[in-house]
């Protein structure tokens, strides 16, 4: 089962895009258009929360840190040539804020030895959690494109951690139908995700196993 802030508003991760061209979107951000920032926030806030919580271990702190990253973006005087650069900025700022947060906690506890080891350890963990956040975001987007009969069982299994019997009861279908639809839905997800060059088959299999 995924963090509560993911379950709270699944649909907000995939808003209807106002900008179907990346350069138009980046240009709107440069012009400080409110609708562009709204779209950016809707697309990246929850993945950043997930990323931050896996680093700091606290959901409330993670949400604060993710929000601060968007505030820093508003204060940023530069511009971005690609959405990849924009995403890198947000994740880097969030990662660094997580480091500062953890350092402050450990400094308060007076653990100098832990502070000196923090950078290398947390950097490695941040890289892993960044990959995890991006994979989940890709999976959520792919789930939204599934036919309705497959989407329901997959969502309940992956997002809410429900068993086949619970899903069958929620959807008023037979448990075997749940199993069949999950199986077919996962096959479709594999095909869709395999077309993304930045995702390895091993990583895809690991996350989809949680819904099987």
Residues 93 and 183 in one domain: no
Evaluate if pTM is beyond 0.95.
no
In which residue ranges of the chain is pLDDT below 70?
1-19, 107-132, 197-212
Domain co-membership, 24 together with 90: yes
The domain boundary residue, chosen from 135, 170, 199: 135
Query: Pick from 117, 135, 153: which residue ends a domain?
Result: 135
Q: How many domains does the chain have?
A: 2
Query: In which domain, by residue range, is 193 found?
Result: 145-212
Residues 6+ apart with CB under 8 A from 36: 18, 19, 25, 28, 29
CA distances from 58 to 41, 48, 50, 101, 204 (A): 21, 13, 10, 11, 26
Spatial CA neighbour of 157 closest among 167, 149, 148, 165: 167
User: Are the CB atoms for 49 and 176 separated by under 8 Å?
Assistant: no
**Same domain? 59 vs 125:** yes
Are residue 86 and residue 152 in the same domain, yes or no?
no
The predicted structure's pLDDT at residue 169: 92
Looking at residue 106, its pLDDT comes to 73
Residue 172 neighbours by CB under 8 Å, 6+ apart: none
Q: Clarify whether residues 98 and 117 are in a common domain.
A: yes
Residue 44 shares a structural domain with residue 74: yes
Judge whether 140 lies within some domain: no
Please give the Cα distance from 77 to 79 (Å, whole number). 7
Q: Is residue 164 part of a domain?
A: yes
* Residue 48 sits in the same domain as residue 122: yes
Q: What is the DSSP string of the chain?
A: ---HHHHHTSGGGSPPPS-SSHHHHHHHHHTT-HHHHHHHHHHHHHHHHHHHHHHHS-HHHHHHHHHHHHHHHHH-----SSHHHHHHHHHHHHHHHHHHHHHHHHHHHT-HHHHHHHHHHHHHHHHHHHHHHHHHHHHHHHHHTS-HHHHHHHHHHHHH---HHHHHHHHTS-HHHHHHHHHHHHHHHHHHHHT-TTS-HHHHHHHHHTT-
What are the tokens at 95? 């990662």
- Shared domain for 58 and 156, answered yes or no, is no
pLDDT at 11: 38
Which pLDDT does position 65 carry in this prediction? Answer: 93
| pLDDT, tens digit (0-9, with 9 covering 90-100), for 140-160 | 778 888 898 998 898 888 777
90 CB neighbour count, 10 Å cutoff: 20
Q: CB–CB of 211/157 below 8 Å?
A: yes
Q: Which of 135, 167, 183 is the last residue of a domain?
A: 135
Task: Decide if 206 is inside a domain.
Answer: yes
**Are residues 116 and 150 both part of a single domain?**
no
78 and 30 in one domain?
A: yes
Same domain, 109 and 165: no
How high is the mean pLDDT of the chain? 77
- Specify if 60 maps to a domain: yes
> Is 197 part of any domain?
yes
Neighbours of 129 (CB within 10 A): 20
Per-residue pLDDT tens digits for 9-46: 333 443 445 667 788 888 888 888 888 888 888 888 88
Domain annotation covers residue 24: yes
């Amino acid at each position: 089962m995924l963090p509560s802030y993911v379950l709270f508003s699944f649909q907000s991760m995939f808003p209807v895009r106002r900008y179907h061209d990346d350069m138009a979107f980046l240009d709107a951000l440069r012009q400080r258009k409110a609708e562009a920032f709204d779209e950016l926030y809707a697309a990246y806030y929850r993945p950043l929360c997930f990323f931050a919580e896996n680093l700091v271990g606290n959901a409330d702190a993670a949400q604060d840190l993710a929000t601060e990253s968007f505030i820093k973006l508003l204060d940023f005087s530069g511009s971005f040539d690609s959405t990849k650069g924009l995403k890198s900025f947000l994740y880097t700022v969030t990662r660094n804020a997580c480091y500062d947060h953890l350092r402050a906690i450990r400094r308060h506890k007076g653990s100098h030895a832990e502070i000196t080891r923090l950078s290398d350890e947390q950097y490695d963990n941040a890289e892993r959690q960044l990959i995890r956040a991006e994979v989940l975001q890709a999976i959520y987007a792919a789930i939204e494109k599934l036919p309705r009969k497959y989407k329901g069982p997959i969502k309940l299994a992956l997002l809410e951690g429900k068993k086949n019997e619970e899903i069958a009861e929620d959807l008023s279908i037979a448990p075997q139908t749940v199993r069949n639809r999950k199986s077919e839905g996962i096959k479709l997800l594999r095909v869709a995700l395999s077309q993304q060059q930045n995702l390895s088959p091993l990583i895809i299999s690991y996350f989809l196993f949680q819904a099987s």
